[in-house]
Structure 1
């Protein structure tokens, strides 16, 4: 599984790209924890790009500290950047709040919440897009994404438009 993810990830992501990982980086627990931390670190350092890591419910502060203590530079930037809750970014004339947990944004309809956490499920809110590795939201794509491949801006835009169109049909 790890080799498939690394292969598919690196086929899409250049070393200069930035990838946002929305939590639950890995589930591999051993005693002592340093063994699993090292194993996960070995996989992460083999992935192309600068990784912005948003803490998930299965990511410990100790693990993030381990990664930070082993951080290294890639293209003039640290390999890893860390956030506890989320990151707000703008692209394609939209604002995206990237979090681990789905967020209910209320009346702020101009912000799209990209999230993980809920695995094979979709939030019944058009502005919430599950972008986890096992999301059903890929049904809005008119092409297949290989397992473990990060979503591109094009993929995200097609999922957002697909979900918006789906919700418009319901009204």
Structure 2
């Protein structure tokens, strides 16, 4: 099964608490990290594929390799094969570190990497997976799954924010637990319900 998520922001202590940008009501990053891990693993199987659309973590420690090791240890606790698309808080150095510690199980690597995005097809629809919203309203046959913006929903029906604190999650009849990636059934529910709110292509509407 395939899943989608973005903006886990592991270790990012400055967004803890209630705020207008990315409210995360946790006492500390350890509690936030463990909540995401638990909810992720309760939904995703060991052999599933998860597309992570960027901003994996934000962790400032020296030397830098210690931060990368801490992030690696978090990612190794997450079920599934992770396809990582680079976000603005992810570095190529981090991706290189993860690649150097990569391994294969059940025929697929733990980590795969994309700097910009990936295009996939499902049930006669194309999905372009990016970190930043691409504003693809001129191509309604393509759905842009993205992250990056935590508190704001792009008013275009083809743009679907899959971040773990995205406003689009409110379209779901059953909202996932914090940090749990979205499956295709949930993506389709969001796509169909957002199309009702934003049926046209005019982003100023």
Same-fold call, TM cutoff 0.5: yes
8 A Cα contact 1:15 1:74, kept in partner = no
Measured in 1, the distance between the counterparts of 2:70 and 2:182 equals 24
- From 27, 41, 44, give the equivalent of 1:10: 41
Residues 84-125 of structure 1, C-alpha deviation per residue, up to 9 Å, x if partnerless? 000000112210000000002252110000000011111111
Runs of 4+ off more than 2 Å:
none
Task: Give how far 1:74 is off.
Answer: 2.1
Structure 2 residues without counterparts, runs of 5 or longer: 1-31
Please, what TM-score do these two structures have when normalized by structure 1? 0.96
Indicate the residue corresponding to 2:154 in structure 1. 123
Measured in 2, the distance between the counterparts of 1:94 and 1:67 equals 31
Residues 18-50 of structure 1, C-alpha deviation per residue, up to 9 Å, x if partnerless? 000000000112111111101110010110100
8 A Cα contact 1:131 1:137, kept in partner = yes
- From 75, 82, 92, give the equivalent of 1:44: 75
Residues 121-149 of structure 1, C-alpha deviation per residue, up to 9 Å, x if partnerless? 11111100111111000111111210000
Indicate the residue corresponding to 1:61 in structure 2. 92
Task: Give how far 1:56 is off.
Answer: 0.3
Indicate the residue corresponding to 2:112 in structure 1. 81
State the structure with bigger RCO (CA 8 A, min sep 6), 1 or 2: 2
8 A Cα contact 1:131 1:151, kept in partner = yes
Measured in 1, the distance between the counterparts of 2:93 and 2:166 equals 28
Measured in 2, the distance between the counterparts of 1:16 and 1:150 equals 14
Aligned residue pairs: how many?
171
Richer in helix (by share): 1
| 3-state SS of paired residue (1:7) | helix
Residues 130-169 of structure 1, C-alpha deviation per residue, up to 9 Å, x if partnerless? 1111100011111121000000111100000010111239
Structure 1 residues without counterparts, runs of 5 or longer: none
> Judging changes above 3 Å, is the alpha-carbon distance between structure 1 residues 70 and 129 closer, same or farther for their aligned structure 2 residues?
same
Measured in 2, the distance between the counterparts of 1:139 and 1:5 equals 18
Please, what TM-score do these two structures have when normalized by structure 2? 0.80
Indicate the residue corresponding to 1:33 in structure 2. 64
Indicate the residue corresponding to 2:9 in structure 1. none
Measured in 2, the distance between the counterparts of 1:144 and 1:168 equals 23
Give me the CA root mean square deviation: 1.5
